[in-house]
A and B are shown apart, each in its own frame.
Chain A
């Protein structure tokens, strides 16, 4: 690992900076060390562990460019190609898999100046927005017009709209409104040769495979999203929360599966394991005999939401579930956009989350195995899980790990070990290694097993579009640049 001071001593201002400044303006090119330091990390816990020790997660970027619009961005891309400068698009840096970490002194291209809603079509129920707009500001602007995007991730206020699409994210209401790939109708992007790719927004089309899906989830490796057209919805008349207590985890899982397979449409579905239930239900009598907590929310027209809630309650009662006081729902609502634990950060614990997708038939085994193996990584390890983002076929299993304080190198090694156990178990039990955080850098070791021959298709496409491997190289399981930092070698891989 490299200390900031050592990297700073080796830093050389690139000779091509005036050329870049001629495109975006001198004020919009950052080259000073403090700027480079703050763009050297994203919100991957792996990066935070390093920053806590004033170490670089990988390398410093060589500079930061901040284009004002898609045309300037395209010019920056053409400039980077002409000068063989690797680059990484940067929204709010809220990714948690290292997708925005510079590995080879890349040029960071900050998209936050592209932050305007271009069109809101109330007839079609669509909004067209630039990629760098803050998610919280975007949703607030829609709310002022009586609409919601329906995409409300925990990271709403700390992320950009383009970032949601680039990493194929999910909001907490995805069970009703879908993941972002279901919400994106059209987009514009800049390809690695500077050309614009535009997918016109239409409800559906049948003209070959979906081109938009080459960008939604591409994490920038195939192009930089500049603009998105998204489906929007009228703000609901009613939001009806329900807090439930189940006697066993299996009863809770079975109830959720049945609700989805009976075509009900809860906006929010959350079922917690015993560890996470206990934290949220202390002192609540309803949970003495039924210790597993679930939270559901039905929304929309009041009469319809009430009917769906009533139908769901019939299913819940058939699975020995019972309604409880709504305090956990209110607490969740109040804190739904917070993901940070100052207490554990302060005490040098190492926290992370892993979200995977499993089928209903495999989820119980998947949970039990990962729980057992991760808890065995070291004494004092915390492991808690909830299931949200629920489908007729399966669900997202969202796991929180927390390693106790220990020497930095040991933290990195055991953190990686826990990830390896979870991802391998997921693959062996037929799941997907990521539900909505994306792959970034940190999931590289398991991409081959996840995608199989599909990874070769992605690499072939990447090689064609980006023959010099300049766009976000070494991420999403794709080929790294020669000489780039390899965190599997330097970052404490097991």
Chain B
């Protein structure tokens, strides 16, 4: 979990220049769908500050916008993919 946590922590604290790749329509224009915000939520789950409950699952399921950001990540990260995998792992473990 440490590598995953490090990835989410790096992204959660990043100022999010990849957000320019989010289309101006067709996806929700809200902060929560940005890779950095998804990472911030996942990090809080890993650290025990948020439960992996229905609201968190709804937020983390919304990776459509973040998938657009993958080519724009300065650090070559696939945060949307990492979030999808994180959700799958957590769901399987329940």
**A110–B30 CB distance below 8 A:** yes
**Distance, CA A311 to CA B30, complexed state (A):** 49
Question: Is A345 a contact of B17 with CB atoms below 8 Å?
Answer: no
Residues on the A chain within 8 Å of B24, using CB: 115-116, 133-134, 137
A134 to B68 alpha-carbon distance, docked (Å): 15
Decide if A30 touches B55 in the complex (CB within 8 Å): no
Note all chain A residues with C-beta closer than 8 A to B72. Answer: 157
Chain A 15-42 interface residues, beta-carbon cutoff 8 Å to B: 30, 32-35, 37-39, 41
Per-residue CB contact flags for chain B residues 11-52 toward chain A (1 = under 8 Å, else 0) read 011111111101010000111100001001101100111100
Q: Assess whether A5 is in contact with B59, with CB atoms less than 8 Å apart.
A: no
The number of A-B residue pairs with CB atoms under 8 Å apart is 114
Q: Is the CB of B15 within 8 A of A339?
A: yes
Contacts A4-B50, A157-B20: A38 and B13 contacting too (C-beta < 8 A)?
no
Within 8 Å by CB of B58, from A32, A110, A135, lies: A32
Give Cα A7 to B40, complex, Å.
16
**Interface-side segment among A47-55, A179-187, A202-210:** A47-55
Bound state CA distance, A54 and B49, in angstroms? 6
1/0 per residue, CB under 8 A from B, across A126-137: the answer is 000000111111
- The reply to whether B16 and A38 form a contact with Cβ atoms under 8 Å apart is no
Min distance, Cβ A457 to any Cβ of chain B, angstroms: 33
Identify which of B17, B50, B56 gathers the most chain A CB atoms within 10 Å of its CB.
B17
State the CA gap A255–B53 with chains docked (Å): 61
Q: Is there an interface contact between A52 and B13, defined as CB atoms closer than 8 Å?
A: yes
Bound-state Cα–Cα, A90 to B32, Å:
13
| Among B20, B31, B47, contact of A54 (Cβ-Cβ < 8 Å) | B47
Task: Please tell me if the beta carbons of B31 and A110 are within 8 angstroms of each other in the complex.
Answer: yes
Give the chain A neighbours of B87 by CB distance below 8 A.
none
What residues of chain A lie closer than 8 Å to B84, measured between beta carbons?
none
Q: Is B10 an interface residue (CB 8 A)?
A: yes
Contacts of B31 in A (CB 8 A): 35, 38-39, 64, 90, 92-93, 110, 112
Question: Contact at B59–A52, with CB atoms within 8 Å?
Answer: no
Q: By CB atoms of chain A within 10 A, which of B9, B15, B19 has the most?
A: B15
Across-interface contacts of B14 in A (CB, < 8 A): 340, 342
Q: In this assembly, does A94 line the interface, its C-beta being within 8 Å of a C-beta of chain B?
A: yes
Residues of A near B13 (CB, < 8 A) are 48, 51-52, 340, 345
Chain B CB within 8 A of A337 CB: yes
Whether B19 and A158, one on each chain, are in contact in the complex, defined by CB atoms closer than 8 angstroms, is yes
Q: Confirm or deny: B74 has a beta carbon within 8 angstroms of a beta carbon on chain A.
A: yes
Cβ-defined partner of A92 (8 Å) among B19, B43, B47: B19
Q: Say yes or no for A257: interface residue by CB 8 A criterion.
A: no
**Complex contact A137–B20 (CB within 8 A):** yes
Is A481 interfacial (CB-CB < 8 Å)? no
A92→B55 contact, CB < 8 A:
no
Q: Which of A48, A116, A157 is B19 in contact with, Cβ under 8 Å? A: A157
Contact, CB under 8 Å: B44 / A54: yes
Kindly provide the distance from the CB of B5 to the nearest chain A CB, expressed in whole angstroms: 11
Q: Quick check: A34 and B41 within 8 Å, CB to CB?
A: yes
List B63-85 residues whose CB lies under 8 Å from chain A.
Answer: 72, 74-75
Question: Are the C-beta atoms of A43 and B32 separated by less than 8 Å?
Answer: no
Asked if A8 is at the interface (CB within 8 A of a chain B CB), the reply is yes
Min CB gap A64→B, angstroms:
7
CA distance A157 to B17 in the complex (A): 5
Question: How many Å from the CB of A425 to the closest CB on chain B?
Answer: 27
Separation of A137 and B22 alpha carbons in the complex (Å):
9
A157 to B72, CA, bound (A): 10
Question: Cβ of A339: which chain B residues have Cβ within 8 Å of it?
Answer: 15
Chain B residues contacting A155 (CB-CB under 8 Å) are: 15, 17
Asked if A66 is at the interface of the complex by the 8 Å CB criterion, the answer is: yes
Q: Is the CB of B55 within 8 A of A4?
A: no
A346 at the interface (CB under 8 A from B): yes
Specify which chain A residues have a CB less than 8 angstroms from the CB of B48 in the assembled complex: 5, 54
List the B residue with the shortest CB-CB distance to A39: B31
Task: Provide the residues of chain A in CB contact with B19, threshold 8 Å.
Answer: 92, 134, 157-158
Between A and B, 24 residue pairs with Cβ closer than 8 Å are: A3-B49, A4-B49, A5-B48, A33-B50, A35-B30, A48-B13, A52-B13, A64-B30, A64-B31, A92-B31, A110-B30, A115-B24, A132-B29, A134-B22, A155-B15, A156-B17, A157-B17, A157-B72, A158-B16, A158-B17, A158-B19, A338-B74, A340-B15, A345-B9
Closest 9 CB pairs of A and B: A136-B20, A54-B49, A34-B59, A112-B29, A38-B37, A157-B17, A32-B55, A157-B20, A4-B49
